[in-house]
A = this chain, B = another copy of it.
């Protein structure tokens, strides 16, 4: 996944069309290497220049043939669910059924004043708009009313997607109430691990499955994904050396806005390792990490964001190549028996 980072330095920072072209090349390469899904995140800032993920995904859809294409995330509270549905239904048509939406409350807040929303309604906006988005999935004509979006009185929403339903997942940063909501609704969960040791998030996956099961959803349908910032390179040394200055730059920039101190590349390097939130290493290390998170969370999907801070394009392309041709196949091989067992269990569950 990517936020379409525009590098402040040499590679693409001064040329928005080049930055966009590079992002589309990355998605095409991910498709060619056989990766399952690519996510593009919504922000409203100059350093993360994708504000309209569906528009980017449509261009990617026209250039790829197999990979699934998702927002990561759609900041649903400050958007209009009808527009979001229309845009992703259009991507679904263009991609012949490969569109997905990962909806979240948003970890940045720029979109709220930009679209005239009150941050006091942050939680209620998400709750209500998610309800409407889900209703749009169910019927072509919708009657709906809420308190934060104009009501719909038997209105048709077009176009209709190719898939019977566009998959909608819920992204969470660690808020138990958000995790419980995903479980209650029986929607796939994506945990964004941006700080802290991954094992700290295991209780969230457990909470999700407990609430989901208690709410009457089939345990086999309750899916957990993780997204992490990281990097893959041919050697652990190369990975850390490329990633650390880029990540330090982003954290220093964000720190200026949020009142944290500056971060050095050396400090980032020291924190890397199996207990870090960051997934940085050679292919075997990243495989181990994903398998260990699979043990912790019963992982169904792992999203890696390998281009934070505008890492040089050739290195990001190599990271995607390694992720698609070495990491993913090794993970699939290692988990094949587990998947077979789960499928068998699911079949027994359904037949029982």
Chain A positions within 8 Å of B, measured between CB atoms, are: 16-17, 19-21, 24, 43-46, 49-52, 54-56, 58-63, 80, 82-83, 86-87, 90-94, 96-97, 110, 113-117, 140, 149-153, 155-162
3 A-B pairs with least C-beta separation? A116-B150, A20-B93, A49-B159
A16 to B163, CA, bound (A): 10
- Specify the chain B residue showing the minimal Cβ separation from A45: B158
A155 to B149, CA, bound (A): 23
Q: Measured between C-beta atoms, what is the minimum distance from A119 to chain B in Å?
A: 13
- Copy total for this chain: 2
Picked from B24, B55, B93, the residue with its CB within 8 Å of the CB of A54 is B55
29 CB contacts below 8 A, A to B, read A16-B93, A16-B159, A17-B94, A17-B96, A17-B97, A19-B93, A24-B94, A43-B158, A44-B157, A46-B140, A46-B156, A46-B158, A46-B160, A49-B158, A50-B90, A50-B159, A51-B86, A51-B90, A52-B86, A55-B90, A56-B58, A56-B90, A58-B58, A58-B59, A58-B62, A80-B115, A83-B115, A114-B152, A116-B150
Instruction: Let me know if A158 and B44 touch, CB within 8 A.
Output: yes
Interface core residue of A86, A155, A159 (most chain B CB under 10 Å) = A159
Instruction: Let me know if B61 and A59 touch, CB within 8 A.
Output: yes
What residues of B have a CB within 8 angstroms of the CB of A82 in the complex? 114-115
Are A45 and B156 CB-contacts (below 8 A) given A24-B62, A56-B58? yes
Picked from B45, B60, B159, the residue with its CB within 8 Å of the CB of A62 is B60
